[in-house]
Amino acid sequence: GAGVSQSPSNKVTEKGKDVELRCDPISGHTALYWYRQSLGQGLEFLIYFQGNSAPDKSGLPSDRFSAERTGGSVSTLTIQRTQQEDSAVYLCASSLGTSGNTIYFGEGSWLTVV
Amino acid sequence: GQNIDQPTEMTATEGAIVQINCTYQTSGFNGLFWYQQHAGEAPTFLSYNVLDGLEEKGRFSSFLSRSKGYSYLLLKELQMKDSASYLCAAPHFGNEKLTFGTGTRLTIIP
C-alpha cells in the first residue's frame, strides 16, 4: 500500500479484555516495528520483525503482550487482560530492512482501557 | 549504553532560528535520524545523518559528530506550523532497531 496502515484507529476496551491491533506495512518493506507512546511521552520500543521473525522482543512490557507477523506482511499486536496502564497510542512502522533505512510510521491505534 | 538525550521543551519566536540538540552514547549506533511529530499525529521523517557534518534541506538542517555522539537540528525562518515535538533517533549497528529520545516539544510564539 501507499503507507503504513493500522486498525483500529481508536479502541476503547474494558479492563481485563483482550485487544488485537493490526498493522499493514508499506509493500516491500521487510522490517516492521511496534512502538508505544503514552500521552506526552516519547516512543517506547516494543518489538521489531525482520520478515516473519522477531530478532528483538526486548521492549514487550510483560507476557500479556505478544506480536506475530505472517507472510512477511501484516502484523498483529495482542494485549491480553488489558490494564489501565496499557492506555496509549500504539504505533507501527516499517522500513526496507537495512540498518539506517528510513522508518515510516502509521497513524497509530489509540487504545483506552477503562 | 543506548541513552539518547534531548531537551524536553524549547520556545522560539516566529521568523527566528532555533537549534535542538541531541546527544547519545556512541557505541552501537549507526548515524542519527530526526523526526517531527505534531500533537495527535504520527512521527514524520525529517533527516538522516550517517556521516559527520551538516546536511541542509530547505529551512531545516541537521548536523552529526559521531566521535562526540552529538547531533543538532537547526530550524530557520520559523513558522507557527513548526510547533511540534522533534524526536532524535539512532539506528543500531547490525540490526534495524531504532531507539528514540524522549522528544523536544518546540513552541513557536508570534
B62 close to B47: Cβ distance less than 8 angstroms: yes
Does position B1 have pLDDT exceeding 50, yes or no?
no
- Beta bridge mates, B108: B12
In this prediction, residues A52-56 reach a mean pLDDT of 86
SS3 state at A42: coil
Nearest to A70 by CA among A6, A22, A9: A22
- Say whether pLDDT at B35 is over 50: yes
Where are the extended beta strands (E) located within B1-110?
4-5, 9-13, 18-24, 32-37, 44-49, 53-57, 60-65, 70-75, 84-91, 98-100, 104-109
Which residues of chain B are within 8 Å of residue A108 when distances are taken between CB atoms?
Answer: 42
Predicted confidence band of residue B95 (pLDDT cuts 50, 70, 90): low
pLDDT(A74) > 80: yes
**Record: contact A42-B42, CB cut-off 8 A:** no
pLDDT of B96 above 80: no
Predicted confidence (pLDDT) at residue B11 exceeds the cutoff of 60: yes
Overall average pLDDT of the B31-52 stretch: 92
The one-letter code for the residue type at B4 is I
Q: Is the pLDDT at B26 greater than 90, yes or no? A: no
Q: How far apart, in whole angstroms, are the C-alpha atoms of residue A19 and residue A105?
A: 21
Other Cβ atoms closer than 10 A to A81: 11
On the question of pLDDT at B30 being above 80, the answer is no
Q: Which three cell numbers stand for residue A108?
A: 497509530
Which chain A residue is nearest to residue B34, measuring alpha carbons?
Answer: A102
The pLDDT value recorded for residue B40 is 85
The pLDDT assigned to B2 comes to 57
pLDDT in tens, A61-73: 999 999 999 888 9
Average pLDDT of the residues in B83-91: 93
Q: Mean pLDDT score of chain A, rounded to an integer? A: 92
Q: Is the pLDDT of residue A57 over 60?
A: yes
> Does A106 sit within 8 Å of B96, measured CB to CB?
no
Closest partner residue to B42 (CB to CB) among A50, A99, A105 is: A105
